[in-house]
Amino acid sequence: MLVLLRHGQSTLNRGGRLLGITNPSLSDLGASQAKLCGSLDKDAHTIISSPLSRAYQSATFAFPNRAISTDSRWTEINYGSYEGKKLSDIPPLDLEKWMSDPDFQPPSGESLQEVQRRVTQALDDLLELAASETVIVVSHVTPIKAAVAVALGVDMRISWHMRLSLSSATTLAATGNQYSLVGFNDVSHLGDLAIT
């Protein structure tokens, strides 16, 4: 089983801006959200995190005193010149192209297809392990959506039709040579701290 956790709220998540490789810390609320993710441990032997602070801090709050490795393939998308902007700030023709073409690349940034390629490699490397034990990966919106797209056998245009809450859990079952989607955007462990 592969459990994909989105990080808790960061100090910059509150404004609805695109937050890719910018590296803020968790807010106080984000730290509290992350601590509640510890209930999802399910005897996981392997815990992996994006190296970005908001994900790694979430992993350490959720799973204190546990070994946590990092894998840059689970890093958030590089939004390039769109970093820090709201979707409403992006020129309409660019936004239309971005939403219809997974190979569209923001200036100096990364395409959705590039994210899906690196996440696919990471998933392939975890397939055998996730078939025999629970693996937890603490990551970000775009890589988690990419993993769901891989499990469903679709391209990244689907990412525009998914909403992923802070500190939510998405679960993929690893069987044979593929993943299947078991659960998506579960925030039941967060109680009153869920932001949907």
Mean pLDDT (whole number) for 165-190 = 96
Determine contact, residues 71/121, Cβ cutoff 8 Å: no
SS (H, E, C) the chain: CEEEEECCCECCHHHCCCCCCCCCCECHHHHHHHHHHHHHCCCCCEEEECCCHHHHHHHHHHCCCCCCEECHHHCCCCCHHHCCCCHHHCCHHHHHHHHHCCCCCCCCCCCHHHHHHHHHHHHHHHHHHHHHCCEEEEECHHHHHHHHHHHHCCCHHHHHHCCCCCCCEEEEEEECCEEEEEEEEECHHHHHHCCC
Q: What residues pair up with 183 in beta bridges, in sequence order?
A: 171
User: What per-residue confidence (pLDDT) applies to 43?
Assistant: 81
pLDDT over 70 percentage in the chain: 98
User: What per-residue confidence (pLDDT) applies to 40?
Assistant: 86
User: What per-residue confidence (pLDDT) applies to 123?
Assistant: 98
User: What per-residue confidence (pLDDT) applies to 106?
Assistant: 95
- Which residues have a Cβ under 8 Å from the Cβ of 124 and sit 6 or more positions away? none
Mean pLDDT (whole number) for 100-114 = 97
User: What per-residue confidence (pLDDT) applies to 37?
Assistant: 93
Range of the domain at 48: 2-193
User: What per-residue confidence (pLDDT) applies to 41?
Assistant: 77
Residue-wise pLDDT for 115-159, tens only, equals 999 999 999 999 999 999 999 999 999 999 999 999 999 999 999
Q: What residues pair up with 181 in beta bridges, in sequence order?
A: 172
User: What per-residue confidence (pLDDT) applies to 179?
Assistant: 98
Positions annotated as catalytic residues are: 7, 76
Determine contact, residues 181/147, Cβ cutoff 8 Å: no
Structural domain total, the chain: 1
- Mean pLDDT over the full length of the chain: 94
Angle at 176 between CA 173 and CA 180, to 5 degrees: 30
User: What per-residue confidence (pLDDT) applies to 32?
Assistant: 95
Does the CA dihedral 155-22-9-99 come out positive or negative? negative
